[in-house]
Amino acid sequence: MKRKRDEEGEKKKEMEIVWQTPANPPERHDYIFRNGRRHVRPYYFEFISHVKNRWAGKTIVDLFAEEFKGRPYEYYVSAVKCGRIQVDGQKVPVSYVVKSSQKISHFLHRHEPPVLALDVSILNKEPDVVTVCKPASVPVHPCGQYRKNTVVGILQAEYNLVPLFPIHRLDRLVSGLLILARNASKADIFRQQIEAGKVQKQYVARVIGVFPEYEKLVDVNINYNPREGRSTAEAGNSSSDTTLKGKAACTKFTRISTNGTHSIVSCEPITGRTHQIRVHLQYAGHPIANDKLYLSKEVVDRSTEGMSADKAAANSDPSLSSNFGQICSCENEEYSSEDFSIDPMCTNCPNLAPKGYDGHEGGLWLHCVRYSGPGWIYECPYPDWASLG
């Protein structure tokens, strides 16, 4: 009898699910390193949203099926029935009609995309500021599918640095200097200096061809298309009859060296538009040498990349089993011998990375080397690819 009770206790323990929220901090043991990539051990997470006015009047299933199309309709029916989708903290029937401002919770087995397994090295650590060398492929802060696999998350997990306030942006594929304030008041000082135009920025890029020896100023509007995930340069000027949709953008370029095939170029953006340096280098006829997005004028529809966890799901039907606690050793070509919990309702399991992830993604040859403002300068070493020797 005792043995039977012990077995039932073990089974119950195996089926327990610990749901995480944004309040749960990343920890060192959350990461798995394999084949040059930093993975996050999949975890259960509660996504919270509130019913918008345009959602009101729809059934809970129709709302999810219409607004989050990455998963099949049958998944949402099953998720509502088993309580993976709740309204105001309560299970509801599939026919439940939502009302404006109600809280909706979606409980998911979350898989974050891997990033390059490079250290987030600390360059300077001061009472109010910390500067780091951000590796390429790692987002600065939680966004989209990324939460723990971010610079802020890694610094919290490995150095217990919290809170942190990034004071400037670096695109996910860009490496180099990142400045983070350690309190809100210091972050606000930086923000005011940036908005007042008192902060100077310098990057280094490796571009195709022999860049002109003289200093080159590119003053061309940039129009960002969020659906395609890319920007375009708009030729023209304010005195012409053509209406420019983009925002004013200006970048100063200076050649550092060249080997006849590639050039190392100093880039000083005067404004701060999305992909500004990349687009202005393309416009100048010298795109970054490994920038797949801007080496060709062909528009690649990236609307299915970098999606939220809802949209990243595959279109296969999930298993409806409730045996949540099993442990599996994945035998994929890339993800083998690492144990993590398999959720039979998860459309990403048994893979470690989310479906749709391109495992061959690397970093751009674009690196932030210097930020300076009133009475302060922060710098970062040049990357190895900046040497043409």
Residues serving a catalytic function are 171
Q: What is the dihedral of CA 84, 89, 92, 98, to 10 degrees?
A: -110
DSSP state, residue 277: H
Rounded-to-integer distance, Cα 162 and Cα 171, Å: 22
Yes or no: say if 275 and 230 are a contact pair by the CB < 8 Å rule. Answer: yes
Yes or no: say if 354 and 113 are a contact pair by the CB < 8 Å rule. Answer: yes
Rounded-to-integer distance, Cα 321 and Cα 132, Å: 45
Rounded-to-integer distance, Cα 108 and Cα 45, Å: 5
The secondary structure of 279-346 as a DSSP string is: HHHHHTT--BTT-HHHHSSSPP--TTSS--TTTT--SSPPP----TT-EEEEESSSSEEEEEE--TT-
Residue type at position 360: H
Report CA Rg, the chain: 24
Of residues 281, 317, 44, 26, the one with CA closest to residue 147: 26
Give the number of other Cβ atoms within 10 Å of residue 30's Cβ.
20
Phi, psi (deg, nearest 5) at residue 232 = -130, 150
Phi, psi (deg, nearest 5) at residue 47 = -90, 130
Of residues 4, 7, 38, 105, the one with CA closest to residue 335: 38
Rounded-to-integer distance, Cα 34 and Cα 233, Å: 39
Mode of pairing for the β-strands spanning 250-258 and 216-219: antiparallel
Q: Which residues pair with 257 in a beta bridge?
A: 264
